[in-house]
């Protein structure tokens, strides 16, 4: 019963939207066309006297028929009316002022995780996205908006559709009188002017009602935001709101194919996992140290990040771990420069050595090379933001290995000592995506999805 009440409460605003914005203009246009074609005159198809004398039952049927036809006419009329919106759309948004637009831009970024350009650089497409996302969020969270916003939207659409109806009426009138060779009389010119003035006034009225809609929508949004102050700073809440906003779409995907639940969950994991917990293990139990590089210095030098990874490995060896080292060539070069032997290094065969190609070389050595079956536990040494993908790569292709992950802070400490920033990145790296964490996170997310698509992780 409660569901039926909720459905009714949802349908009523939509019904009145149709009545106001489509049926009314459609009815007016039908009556206007009938008038121009002398349908109401004596002997016409809709002669008034004959309609009045047809009885209540027939009149009622004709009334409902008129409403149905008006709705059918109102639908294409609303499409035609929408063409008037660009005449005032951007100006209506600009009239809100830069401060309100900037507040709205930041609010949608904090609440929904959406990015918009500066107000001065926004196009009609951006303003349309602003409207749709604000409208959807407010309707979802504000009970008052469920009736108020459809009413205000209908009023603006009514003006647009009436202007469209006037244009159609004008065309019918002109096509009806001009072929007769009738010269425009003073009354004809006056009627033409009235048509044109009416169209201009209706477009102006549409702009006014649209501005009122925007202002009310922003007021409703402002009333919602103070109740959720944490949304301004919490990325978790931003993710939560995005998921809630698309909940119906996500559930329909999973309902169609249950396997998509795993795909969607994995996608969330790829985006959100950046700190792999350190393993609790005795370093003496490590059978091999596997090191992946990050970045590259000028003149083909290892660079600060790889120097830091090498320094971490040296520190581990000083703590008693004498396991053989299998490393990507950049880290291997940094180790060799400090007199440390490397059992095997993954080298570049083309212009660029991918993480996957590096591991395939190191995997061949650890599985069937000199080390043979002796390797059971691997100490994975990689940049902390790179560790997740490297770990998944090893686990996918060589599940027999136990993977040990070092403490993130220990790795970063060694990298900083070699000149990296606080996040372990080398500003002088010749690989642009490894010069800062901001650039690397974007590259890493893309690499994770690509490796997943190729069934590598």
Same domain, 206 and 291: no
Same domain, 192 and 330: no
Please report the pLDDT score of residue 447 as a whole number.
Answer: 94
Q: What is the domain-level CATH number for residue 388? A: 3.40.50
Please report the pLDDT score of residue 182 as a whole number.
Answer: 57
Residue listed under structure tokens 């005159």: 41
Q: Confirm whether 360 is domain-assigned.
A: yes
Report the candidate in 131, 134, 135 with the shortest Cα–Cα distance to residue 149.
135
Number of domains in the chain: 2
Q: Confirm whether 6 is domain-assigned.
A: yes
Same domain, 45 and 170: yes
Same domain, 23 and 161: yes
Please report the pLDDT score of residue 298 as a whole number.
Answer: 87
Task: Give the structural domain span for 198.
Answer: 2-233
Q: Confirm whether 269 is domain-assigned.
A: no
Q: Confirm whether 398 is domain-assigned.
A: yes
Strand partners, 325: 289
Same domain, 291 and 227: no
Q: Are strands 377-381 and 288-291 parallel, antiparallel or unpaired?
A: parallel
Q: Can you give the pTM of this predicted structure?
A: 0.52
Q: Confirm whether 244 is domain-assigned.
A: no
DSSP string for residues in 321-366: ----EEEEHHHHHHHHTTT---SEEE--SSS---HHHHHHHHHHHH
Say how far apart CA 242 and CA 229 lie, in whole Å: 17
Please report the pLDDT score of residue 239 as a whole number.
Answer: 82
Report the candidate in 119, 75, 80 with the shortest Cα–Cα distance to residue 203.
80
Same domain, 337 and 193: no
State residue 380 phi and psi, 5-degree precision.
Answer: -90, 115
pLDDT in 10s for each residue of the chain, 457 residues = 344 444 434 444 566 677 777 888 888 888 888 777 775 555 555 555 555 555 566 566 766 777 777 778 878 888 888 888 888 888 888 888 888 888 888 888 888 788 888 888 888 888 888 888 888 888 888 777 777 788 888 888 888 888 888 898 888 888 776 655 556 677 778 888 888 998 899 889 889 888 888 888 888 888 877 544 444 447 777 788 788 878 888 888 888 787 888 888 889 999 989 999 888 878 888 999 999 999 999 888 999 999 999 999 999 999 888 899 999 999 999 999 999 999 999 998 777 889 999 999 888 887 765 565 678 899 999 999 999 999 999 999 989 899 999 999 999 999 999 999 999 999 999 999 999 999 999 999 999 999 999 999 8
């Amino acid at each position: 019963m409660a569901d039926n009440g909720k459905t009714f409460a949802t349908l009523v605003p939509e019904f009145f939207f149709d009545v106001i914005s489509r049926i009314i203009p459609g009815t007016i246009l039908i009556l206007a066309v009938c008038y121009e074609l002398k349908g109401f005159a004596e002997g016409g198809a809709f002669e008034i006297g004959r309609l009045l004398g047809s009885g209540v039952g027939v009149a009622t049927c004709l009334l409902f028929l008129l409403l149905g036809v008006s709705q059918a006419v109102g639908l294409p009329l609303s499409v035609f009316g929408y063409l008037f919106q660009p005449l005032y759309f951007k100006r209506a948004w600009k009239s809100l002022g830069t401060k309100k637009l900037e507040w709205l831009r930041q609010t949608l970024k904090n609440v929904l995780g959406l990015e918009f350009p500066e107000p001065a650089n926004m196009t009609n497409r951006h303003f349309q996205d602003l409207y749709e996302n604000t409208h959807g969020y407010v309707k979802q969270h504000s009970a008052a908006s469920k009736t108020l916003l459809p009413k205000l939207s209908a009023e603006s659409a009514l003006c647009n559709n009436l202007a469209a109806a006037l244009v159609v009426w004008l065309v019918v009138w002109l096509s009806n009188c001009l072929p007769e060779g009738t010269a425009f009389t003073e009354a004809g010119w006056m009627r033409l002017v009235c048509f044109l003035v009416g169209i201009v006034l209706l477009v102006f009225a549409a702009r006014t009602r649209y501005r009122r809609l925007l202002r009310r929508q922003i007021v409703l949004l402002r009333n919602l935001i103070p109740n959720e102050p944490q949304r301004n700073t919490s990325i978790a809440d931003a993710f939560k709101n995005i998921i809630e906003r698309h909940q119906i779409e996500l559930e329909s995907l999973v309902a169609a194919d249950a396997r998509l639940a795993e795909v969607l969950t994995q996608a969330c994991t790829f985006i959100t996992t950046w700190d792999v917990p350190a393993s609790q293990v005795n370093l003496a139990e490590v059978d091999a140290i596997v090191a992946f590089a990050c970045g590259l210095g000028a003149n083909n030098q290892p660079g600060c990040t790889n120097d830091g990874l090498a320094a971490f490995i040296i520190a581990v060896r000083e703590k008693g771990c004498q396991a053989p080292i299998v490393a990507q060539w950049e880290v291997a070069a940094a180790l060799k420069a400090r007199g440390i032997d490397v059992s095997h290094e993954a080298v570049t065969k083309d212009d660029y050595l991918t993480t996957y190609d590096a591991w395939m070389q190191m995997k061949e050595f650890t599985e069937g090379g000199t080390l043979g079956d002796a390797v059971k536990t691997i100490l994975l040494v990689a940049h902390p933001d790179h560790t997740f993908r490297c770990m998944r790569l090893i686990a996918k292709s060589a599940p027999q290995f136990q993977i040990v992950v070092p403490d993130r802070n220990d790795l970063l400490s060694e990298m900083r000592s070699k000149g990296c920033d606080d996040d372990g990145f080398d500003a002088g790296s010749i690989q642009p995506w490894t010069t800062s964490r901001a650039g690397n996170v974007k590259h890493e997310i893309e690499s994770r999805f690509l490796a997943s698509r190729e069934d590598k992780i």
